[in-house]
Amino acid sequence: DARGLGFSDGAVTTPPGWAEAYRGLTEMGWNSPTADPEHGGMGLPMAVNACIQEMFNGANAAFQLCPLLTQGAIEALEAYASDDLKHTYLSRMVSGEWTGTMNLTEPQAGSDLAAIRSKAVPEGDHYRISGQKIFITYGEHDLTGNIIHLVLARLPDAPAGVKGISLFVVPKVLVGADGSLGARNDVRCVSIEHKLGIHASPTCTLAFGDDGGAIGHLVGEPNRGLEYMFAMMNNARLNIGLQGIGIAENATQHAVAYAMDRKQGTPPAGSSAATIIGHPDVRRMLGLMATRTEAARILAYRAAAALDIARRAPDPADRARAQRRVDLLIPVVKGWSTELSVQTASLGVQVHGGMGYVEETGAAQHLRDARITTIYEGTTGIQALDLVGRKILRDRGLAAGELVAEMRATAALLAGQGGAAADWPRLAAGVTGAADLVEALTAWLLAQNGAEPQAAAVCVLEAFGSALGAWSMGDAALAAVARMDAGRDTGFAAAKLRRVRFYFDHVLPMADALARVATAGAAATLELEPGDLAGAA
């Protein structure tokens, strides 16, 4: 993070130790755990990959972005590329010998990909690609001998808008028929960004075709490139949600360790200086950090498991139901998890006090690194519009209704527990209230016309996150008491129950407040005029 990147003559130099770390990762196969074994991958389920991604992102988000983007490129090629393209590229990308990128954004085309201008002109058995792409993660680096760019561009006769975008594979170095590397392709890095965080991850501006056109090959059918990219989007957004969770977990662990070591002040029940974890407000901040991260983790793992069922269940009805669950949860996982990652990292700085504001403790890096997670792969606002428009309104609340039924089933199980150790009636009432909230917000959205759902969307998303987090923590309480009843891990399980109670008292009430803002505040948002927001007296 402190060393950052070198850049000269279009070449990026990664920090010392980066190449060794990358080599170690690829030698163990952790760079592409979900890839098809036919191409050298492990073929692991997404549920297992979710755990892997969280841990590696928690260790170093800037480093993990390289294999993460390559995984996305691998998935796109596995799903849509011709057999020849698969044969040429996949095994070496899966092994980590080559990496991959996703090239969507252009200076005038950020969230609005209909504005893409990059061109692809047919020439024999390939295409000549020209245009500029920005914000390309690991678009240039010194870790591998080749970088395989997946590029969105337009054919000469393409329809306007999103229906005229095709997908092309464009290698940094051309690959011969025998698999050998040939001449450098007409693609170069013209600059790298100087960013708030993830300093060691190169964010590149790439120029395609400045010297005649970069050679590329069409992936799948013409004019279906955006469709192919969006088919991969659930995985990408899940992985960024997991990145946020990993950073939040790292920030929490650092803050807890500091609070257990730093002596300052006298706690209420003490008579001499003690470690700051004894102060109630410090413990409150740490409780928020730990429990929100835990709830987000459970929800993300649930989304990953639903992805596996949607892909592999033998019953088509089960696959369809699981896909509805994936579609509903992914924007919440991406949007809510990354927003709470920023909040968690900010609390980590606060726990450190003045030392959190200086770089040597590492607390500031967590905050800087987390900040991008709410922006790339679709901002929180984009996730919220996706949740409200494409997921809830489009299916008239079907997936949300299925989810509410499962939440009520969890509440019934909580209500049926005996003993007072976890305050079961209160937890059952909390999950019931969370289910009521999701149901009521869904009904409110379905009853609206005009722009109100869009104005309320982010508050709806965050309310869903807090409510679904309570459902997840309720199931965690049931799992914990099952371990206690079996006489296993009673210390771990008892700590789990205390964290669950904290979440229900400190986080779940925020869902009600957010729901009130969503339903009552949308009109006030729409009433604001641009002039009301600038130079207000």
What DSSP letter does each residue of 294-349 carry, written as one string? HHHHHHHHHHHHHHHHHHH-SSHHHHHHHHHHHHHHHHHHHHHHHHHHHHHHHHHH
Q: Per-residue pLDDT for 299 more than 80? A: yes
- Residue with the larger pLDDT of the pair 438 and 452: 438
* Whole-angstrom distance, CA of residue 442 vs CA of residue 392: 7
Helix (H, G, I), strand (E, B), or coil: what is residue 30?
coil
pLDDT at 513: 97
Domains in the chain, CATH or no CATH each: 6-230 (2.40.110.20), 235-263+279-525 (1.20.140.10)
CB contact set of 269 (below 8 Å; sequence gap of 6+) = 278
Is the Cβ–Cβ distance between 75 and 235 less than 8 Å?
yes
* Whole-angstrom distance, CA of residue 532 vs CA of residue 273: 50
Confidence of residue 535 (pLDDT cuts 50, 70, 90): low
Q: Per-residue pLDDT for 531 more than 90? A: no
pLDDT at 114: 87
Q: Can 377 be counted among the known catalytic residues?
A: yes
Q: Report the residue count for the chain.
A: 537
Output the average pLDDT for the chain: 95
Per-residue model confidence as pLDDT tens digits over 81-121: 999 999 999 999 999 999 999 999 999 998 888 899 999 99
Compute the average pLDDT of residues 335-344.
99
* Whole-angstrom distance, CA of residue 40 vs CA of residue 101: 19
pLDDT at 140: 98
- Strands (E) in 172-245, as ranges, are 173-175, 181-184, 187-192, 203-208, 214-219
Compute the average pLDDT of residues 470-480.
96
- Residue with the larger pLDDT of the pair 19 and 234: 19
Compute the average pLDDT of residues 147-168.
96
CB atoms near residue 382 (< 10 Å): 18
* Alpha-carbon distance values, 239 to 60, 64, 303, 485 (Å): 14, 11, 11, 35
pLDDT at 110: 85
Per-residue model confidence as pLDDT tens digits over 457-468: 999 999 999 999
Q: Is the pTM of the predicted complex or chain greater than 0.85?
A: yes
Compute the average pLDDT of residues 435-440.
98
- Supply 164's token pair: 């005229």
Q: Per-residue pLDDT for 421 more than 70? A: no
pLDDT at 252: 99
Closest CA to 136 of 187, 185, 92, 85: 187
Closest CA to 34 of 81, 58, 68: 68
Is the Cβ–Cβ distance between 351 and 255 less than 8 Å?
yes
Compute the average pLDDT of residues 244-258.
98
Compute the average pLDDT of residues 273-284.
93
* Whole-angstrom distance, CA of residue 501 vs CA of residue 511: 16
The active-site residue, picked from 377, 439, 452, 462, is: 377
Least confident of 114-128, 222-236, 281-295: 222-236
